[in-house]
Amino acid sequence: MTEHQDETRAAYDGVVELYASLFANQLEDQPFSRNMIGTFAELVRAAGNTRAADVGCGPGHLTAMLNNLGLDAFGLDLSPGMVEYARRAHPALRFDEARMEALPIEDGALGGVLAHYSMIHTPPGELPALLAEQVRVLESGGLLLVSFFATDGPEPIRFDHKVAPAYSWPVDRFAESLADAGLTTFARLLHDPASERGFLDAHLLARRP
């Protein structure tokens, strides 16, 4: 495990209760995110394989949302504190500790992967390996919905996220990274920020051919 992962894990372990309280409403006040996740779930259901992973699931609120939307979803997170909380909060669902670049999932097993602001702490040089792992676990036709902070500049920008250092990305650059990993981006949504950070919020929906 790299040093930044150790730092990120420890940081999230230290804010479990606070973080969970902030997102208890399952995106009721974030209509863009909520509707993109709804579209993702609808398309995964239509494709037939409803097994889906919420990678970087945190306290499990979106894993539960995916299940309510008809997916057989489970959550994975780097933080053992978050996994423990998610198991208590949603005892009927499965949650496990895992790294996003080493998922405990067989090849081609999933119809969908949700990565909701869970790649933001990954340094740009490590993103290709992380995306390759998401592709590995998706079946042909499987979908990835990734959300992140976007910047208008030409390069990713490192910034001080409230929990751990993070990166904002030019949307086209991130879409290129998805293409390099073997995914085809077919929908994108870019909107004004839901927080005071000032970065735009971006959502890319991609398919494994």
If you search the block for the tokens 């894990």, which residue do you land on?
9
Look at the pTM and tell me if it is higher than 0.85: yes
Q: How far apart are the first and last CA of the chain?
A: 31
Q: How many domains does the chain have?
A: 1
Q: Give the domain CATH number at 57.
A: 3.40.50.150
pLDDT tens, position by position, 5-16: 878 887 777 778
Counting Cα atoms < 13 Å in the Cβ hemisphere of 59 gives 18
**Residue 55: is its pLDDT beyond 80?**
yes
> Which residue range(s) make up the domain with 66?
3-23+31-207
**Residue 70: is its pLDDT beyond 70?**
yes
